[in-house]
């Protein structure tokens, strides 16, 4: 099963993503440079964290016009699984594949810490095997991860079970204290209406081995693999 | 043609930078400052002119220079 890890100029978690995916049984990841214009042969696409194009103008604003992005949009529309972590989430929002936007952290500080995340949707393509209400531990590292969406969009996200992860405390409560960046309704990760595009500010790629402090990130990649194996999402064209 | 683009955060979007600057201004003694919003200002020089260029600039403002989810823009051409 082949995952594409897109490399933009300024991506800096591309190696983390590649290593995380390649460490898991049956999964293989390869880099795809942003100037490429084909994703054929890949079962899933990962947009890694970093600072694509230096975050100039807005995070992800310039990256969304990279040549590979039209293929990412096509893959998403074809039903292939697309995952965006951190800067990758920002790129997916800018590209219009996910609703809302990521703005400057409320406290204006870059936050780099372990977070707890409550799983809101257990049968999503990205959280299979994680019970609703269970808690994942994944690290964050961002300055612009405050999720914003207007009230209408929030109603749609909640109504369609598109909010996959919320920041929470050790009891699973989504409190203001457990919200590291001021995201509206503690939202940490959302998917599109069709359920095959998922963006999250936390880094599953930095939590795939006990030595990193958590293995919970592996669950996301393995869930994607299970979804593809189950044939619920179109495999490589 | 020269174009100036002013991008500002939408009213519904929190602007913590603006709030921090507002507080700093108040601390400096200007107590009657009500709010500060921080945006971006771009100057664009073009070798083209005319209505079509203006239409393309408008499109550029929507597609690249601002994000309509969180920002408003104002395009001034001269």
Question: How many contacts does A have with B, using Cβ atoms within 8 A?
Answer: 38
Domain boundaries, position B51 = 2-77
Shortest distance between the Cα of B68 and any Cα of chain A, in A, equals: 10
ipTM score assigned to the predicted complex? 0.90
Total count of domains within chain B? 1
pLDDT at A129: 84
Interface check A57 vs B, CB under 8 A: yes
As averages over each run of 10 residues, the pLDDT of chain B (78 residues) reads: 96 93 97 96 94 95 97 96
Site of tokens 């409190």: A175
Q: Which CATH class is domain A2-229?
A: alpha beta
What is the CB-side half-sphere exposure of residue A8 using CA atoms within 13 A?
29
Q: What is the 3-state secondary structure (H, E, C) of chain A?
A: CEEEEEECCCECCHHHHHHHHHCCCCCEEEEEECCCCCCCCCCEEEECCECHHHHCCCCCCCHHHCHHHHHHHHHHHHCCEEEEECHHHHHHHHCCCCCCEEECCCCCCCEEEEEEEEECCCCCCCCCCCCCCCEEEEEEEECCCEEECCHHHHHHHHHCCCEEEEEECCCCCCCHHHCCCCCHHHEEEEECCCCCEEEECCCHHHCCEHHHCECHHHHHHHHHHHHHHCCCCCCCC
Locate the domains of chain A by residue range. 2-229
pLDDT tens, position by position, A52-102: 999 999 999 999 999 999 999 999 999 999 999 999 999 999 999 999 999
CATH number of the structural domain spanning residue B10 = 3.30.1280.10
A148/B20 CB distance under 8 A: no
Q: Please tell me the pTM assigned to this model.
A: 0.95
Please indicate if any CB of chain B lies within 8 Å of the CB of A226: no
pLDDT tens per residue, range A26-52:
999 999 999 999 999 999 999 999 999
């Amino acid at each position: 099963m082949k995952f594409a890890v897109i490399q933009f100029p300024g991506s800096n978690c591309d190696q983390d993503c590649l290593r995380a995916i390649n460490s898991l049984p049956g999964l293989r990841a390869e880099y795809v440079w942003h100037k490429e214009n084909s994703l054929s042969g890949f079962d899933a696409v990962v947009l890694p964290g970093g600072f694509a194009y230096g975050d100039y103008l807005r995070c992800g604003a310039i990256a969304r016009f990279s040549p590979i992005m039209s293929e990412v949009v096509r893959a998403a529309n074809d039903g292939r699984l697309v995952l965006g972590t951190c800067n990758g989430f920002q790129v997916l929002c800018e590209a219009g594949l996910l609703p809302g936007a990521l703005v400057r952290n409320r406290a204006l500080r870059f936050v780099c810490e372990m977070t707890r995340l409550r799983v809101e949707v257990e049968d999503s393509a990205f959280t299979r095997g994680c019970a609703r209400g269970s808690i994942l531990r994944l690290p964050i590292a961002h300055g612009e991860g405050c999720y914003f969406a207007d009230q209408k969009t929030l109603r749609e996200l909640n109504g369609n079970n598109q909010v996959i992860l919320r920041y929470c405390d050790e009891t699973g409560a989504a409190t203001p204290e457990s919200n590291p960046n001021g995201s509206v309704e503690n939202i940490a990760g959302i998917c599109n209406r069709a359920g095959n595009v998922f963006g999250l500010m936390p880094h599953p790629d930095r939590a795939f081995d006990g030595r990193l402090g958590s293995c919970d990130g592996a669950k996301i990649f393995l869930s994607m693999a299970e979804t593809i194996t189950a044939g619920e999402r179109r495999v490589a064209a | 043609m020269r174009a100036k683009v002013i991008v500002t955060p939408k009213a519904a979007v929190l602007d913590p930078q603006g709030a921090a600057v507002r507080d700093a201004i108040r601390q400096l003694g200007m107590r009657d400052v009500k709010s500060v919003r921080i945006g971006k200002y771009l100057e664009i020089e073009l070798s083209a002119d005319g209505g079509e260029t203006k239409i393309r600039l408008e499109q550029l403002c929507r597609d690249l220079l601002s994000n309509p989810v969180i920002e408003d823009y104002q395009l001034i051409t001269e």
